Structure 1
């Protein structure tokens, strides 16, 4: 680009009619049904009740259901929220250190979603503890990636 001042920024405005919903959908989004999510929810709950939070957190952050419908995402999020709220505050830092970069990004998405819904706002102190440990461990880079990613949990 020789003259960046002449870029037509209206071409990128979603209200201009030039972009449709398919243009805004992330590529390679695998569609996930509720029947595929139910076994994972039961695995999450059994790991959390047995106190194996490390494997529960690995399960939560490895393959989130980006392509599911909103009701399925909500049911899965409720299970994720129950796992996150059962962890003792002293264990959070060790669990966060075990996560990879991609897993931390997924965890940040769930933390932001938790802070935006009433069920999560009731557990706001715990979610903020998770957020604090993530930012202490990884900095603000996961937050920036969350803000720029179009895939939602």
Structure 2
């Protein structure tokens, strides 16, 4: 008889077998740049007019999860412009105006900005956003970012 203490019991569980395609989130239809262009224009318009609270709320509501990487990058550049144009004194007020889901999206854009060359140029501003976000919400958005498979 085989040593029963060395049997891999997980191998007998039919629900324990995940395929790689099971781990990829299903977004539905893919968003194109032409479909997202009006939102990018509105975001830039709000940011240039000085309405930063509305600009950040628009940027973090319904992010283009199902877009291709080039479209996501173009949207990210518009979001980065809005984040960079916000005065540090207004950041805390803007963060407080966001709901939980929007804060989760904001931390995704902050981390994405820290990983890209365009965002590294604005590193101090992104760190100020990160500080205001963690002071308001603690580590919850960070934990949600780590556990969420959807990317911006």
**TM-score, L = length of structure 2:** 0.88
Contact 1:30 1:67 (8 Å CA) reproduced = yes
Give the gaps of 5 or more residues in structure 2.
1-7
User: Is 1:19 paired with 2:19?
Assistant: yes
Provide the C-alpha distance between the structure 1 equivalents of 2:33 and 2:41, rounded to a whole number of angstroms.
12
Q: Secondary structure at the match of 2:105?
A: helix
Report if aligned partners of 1:29, 1:66 keep a CA contact under 8 Å in 2: no
- Equivalence for 1:7: 10
- Please give the TM-score of this superposition, normalised by the length of structure 1: 0.87
Rg larger in structure: 2
1:43 aligns with 2:46: no
Three-state SS of the structure 2 residue aligned to 1:83 is helix
Secondary structure at the aligned position of 2:65 is classed as coil
CA offset digits 1:77-122 (Å, max 9, x no partner): 0000000000000000000000000000000000000000011011
1:79-94 aligned within 5 A: 79-94=78-93
Structure 1 unaligned spans of 5+: 13-17
Structure 1 residue ranges, 4+ long, deviating more than 6 angstroms after superposition: none
Matched ranges for 1:123-138 at <5 A: 123-138=122-137
